[in-house]
Amino acid sequence: MLTLTKSYSFAVGLKCSCCHKEYSLNSLNTFADCCNRPLVVEYDEEYSLDKNKLATRQQNMWRYAEMLPVLNKENIVSLGEGMTPIFELNKLGAAYGFSDLLMKDETSNPTGSFKARGLSMAVSKAKEFGIEHCIIPTAGNAGGALAAYCARADIKCTVVMPTHTPKIFKQECELYGAELILVDGLINDCAKKIGELNSSHKYFDISTLKEPYRLEGKKTMGYEIAEQLDWQLPDVIIYPAGGGTGLIGIWKAFKEMLTLGWITGPLPRMYAIQSQNCSPILHALKDAVNWKNNFTPEPSIANGLAVPYPFGMNMMLDVLQESNGTAVSISEEEIVAGVKEIAKTEGHIISPEGAATWKALLHLHKNKMIRADEKVLLLNTGSGYKYLDNLDLHF
Ligand SMILES: Cc1ncc(COP(=O)(O)O)c(C=O)c1O
Ligand SMILES: [Zn+2]
With beta carbons less than 8 A apart as the criterion, state whether 68 and 62 touch: yes
Ranges of each domain in the chain: 86-110+214-394
Beta bridge partners of 330: 275
- Which CATH entry fits the domain spanning 86-110+214-394: 3.40.50.1100, 3.40.50.300, 3.60.20.10, 2.170.140.10? 3.40.50.1100
pLDDT of residue 288: 87
- Tell me the per-residue pLDDT of 264-309, one tens digit each, with 9 for 90 and over: 989 999 999 999 999 999 999 999 889 999 899 999 999 999 999 9
What is the average per-residue pLDDT within 201-221? 97
pLDDT of residue 6: 57
pLDDT of residue 2: 56
- Tell me the per-residue pLDDT of 224-244, one tens digit each, with 9 for 90 and over: 999 999 999 999 999 999 999
pLDDT of residue 1: 54
What is the average per-residue pLDDT within 76-93? 98
pLDDT of residue 58: 96
- Tell me the per-residue pLDDT of 102-159, one tens digit each, with 9 for 90 and over: 999 999 999 999 999 999 999 999 999 999 999 999 999 999 999 999 999 999 999 9
What is the average per-residue pLDDT within 201-225? 97
Q: Ligand 1 within 6 A of 300 CB?
A: no
Q: Ligand 1 within 6 A of 243 CB?
A: yes
pLDDT of residue 185: 97
Q: Ligand 1 within 6 A of 139 CB?
A: yes
Peptide bond into 85 cis (omega under 30): no
Percent of the chain with pLDDT over 70: 98
What is the average per-residue pLDDT within 251-257? 98
What is the average per-residue pLDDT within 54-83? 97
Of 115, 350, 388, best ligand 1 pocket probe by most atoms within 8 Å of the beta carbon: 115
The answer on pLDDT for 5 being more than 70 is no
The answer on pLDDT for 262 being more than 90 is yes
Q: Ligand 1 within 6 A of 353 CB?
A: yes
Percent of the chain with pLDDT over 90: 94
Q: How far apart are CA 112 and CA 381, in angstroms?
A: 9
Of 381, 385, 386, 391, best ligand 1 pocket probe by most atoms within 8 Å of the beta carbon: 381
pLDDT of residue 248: 98
Q: Ligand 1 within 6 A of 112 CB?
A: no
The answer on pLDDT for 392 being more than 60 is yes
